Homo-oligomer: A and B are copies of this chain.
Amino acid sequence: MIIKPKLIKGTRDFNSIEIKKREYIINIIRSNFELYSFEQINTPAIENLSTLSESYGEEGDRLIFKIINSGDYLKNISIDNKTNYKNLLSKISKKALRYDLTIPLARYVAMNQNNIVFPLKRFQIQNVWRADRPQKGRFTEFLQCDADIIGSKSLLLEIELIQLYTSVFKNLNLPITIKLNNRKILLGICEHVGESDKFNDLTIAIDKLDRYSFEKVQDELFNKGFSKLSIIKLKRLFDFRESSFQDKILFFKNIFSNINVGMEGINEVEYIFSNLNGIKNIDFDIKLARGLSYYTGTILEVVCNNVNIGSIGGGGRYDNLTEKFGLKNISGVGISFGLDRIYLVMEELNLFPKILTHSSNFLFLNFGDNFLNESLKYASILRENNISCEIFPDNIKLSKQLSFANKKNIPFIIFIGDNELKNNDIVIKDMRNGNQQNVNKNKFLSTIIEINKNNG
């Protein structure tokens, strides 16, 4: 049976040019992580399902890819036509694919707590997988680049993470805005409008204010049981959003005069802003809610000013992440770069440096077994001198070999034929202008080194 060769929707192959462009971004992110003294760790792609479950909210749990147990996964399990897929799932699947890099970090910290010197500054650059509906900028398999600090509540870390974001995007020449908010402010708002028990519903609704009008979102809130009064109060808060930073701070300090958690959030935002010397591209945005349920303090999101593709980075503070693994009172804060969206934005704004399309400058033509030994010998000499080259593998018509060089943009061909063997020399031909030179074998290496220097 013939299988149609195809990819899973939302996954991609990358060719060498795409890889080089991705590496260009990754190297900038990595070197900034290192300048801020983060140390790299890697965790496995597959984790115990119990490690990942119940960390990302109900929607997140649904989007985790689950792996079926090996062997006879139905052994000792009774099933019948009434078997429910959710109940069966927990019995036939114990492993899952990494959904983000934060929960694996929490698992790592809890596992290695006795050997880690806290505060831990770690970075991690690895793929994650989500069974989400793919669309522009949203993939099933995508790369996250995360920096987190575990074991300190200091707001200095928020400030440094904002500096880090700024530095990376400056290096990439990408014009961005960082949106900042605080979950404690959202909690305070819940209390203020008298709906403290509906925090999750509120954050989900607020998250939509970017795309939808307040009128549309208020219907949703009404359906979730928010009172009319609470919705009116909410509208008043979110109408305030276009005012200046100082006005917003004063407004909310007034609102939160009797609401501790809200006041804490406002004070944190004010402290961070007051220490961001010289960083201008940052907005206090109370519409920012962040989907993930584990954030407890500062939340951040990065958007590109010129391209509408959603967030290209995000993060925040989480106080209870390792509690799930029995390790209490460990606060963490971190940010993530969405490599795949940054790539799309860089492409759209034409920000990649020129990248060469061929990997080697030199192709040895193949004239058959009699000449093979010489080609192998001189190719070896080049490679020993760190010069990439290839030998055409088959002794086919010259025109086909030349066509190969042309299609692959290989600028120089090299050949050793009958005459050359006799005269002890080697021909080097520049494919772009047809110039060719006969070089004595003794001068071959030095000539190639010279050519290579001039052809980057």
Contacts and interface: CB of A to CB of B under 8 A. Distances in A.
Contact of A16 (B14, B40, B81): B40
A254 interface: no
A441 interface: no
Interface residues on A, range: 35 or more
A396 to B, nearest CB: 9
Nearest to A93: B68
A88 interface: yes
A70 B110 contact: no
A245 to B, nearest CB: 19
A373 B272 CA distance: 11
A111 B5 contact: yes
A325 B3 contact: yes
A46 B8 contact: yes
B117 A388 contact: no
Interface centre among A42, A167, A387 (most CB of B within 10 A): A42
B37 A359 contact: yes
Interface in A91-140: 92-93, 95, 97, 106-108, 110-112, 117, 119, 121, 127, 129, 131, 140
Contacts of A260: none
A304 to B, nearest CB: 23
B359 A38 contact: yes
A40 to B, nearest CB: 5
Nearest to A64: B70
A386 interface: yes
A72 interface: yes
A36 B127 contact: no
A383 interface: yes
Nearest to A77: B85
Contacts of A391: 156, 160
Contacts of A131: 70
A11 interface: yes
A216 interface: no
A110 B84 CA distance: 40
Interface stretch (A47-55, A185-193, A293-301, A339-347): A47-55
A241 interface: no
Given A11-B44, A141-B45, A83 B74 contact: yes
A249 interface: no
B34 A388 contact: yes
B35 A19 contact: no
A233 interface: no
A157 interface: yes
Contacts of A153: 394
A394 to B, nearest CB: 5
Report the 4 A-B pairs with minimum CB-CB distance, sorted nearest first: A11-B44, A37-B390, A154-B393, A5-B110
10 contacts: A13-B108, A19-B40, A19-B42, A35-B388, A62-B70, A67-B68, A68-B89, A80-B80, A152-B393, A156-B393
Given A7-B47, A117-B404, A156-B393, 4 more contacts: A5-B326, A34-B360, A78-B81, A277-B376
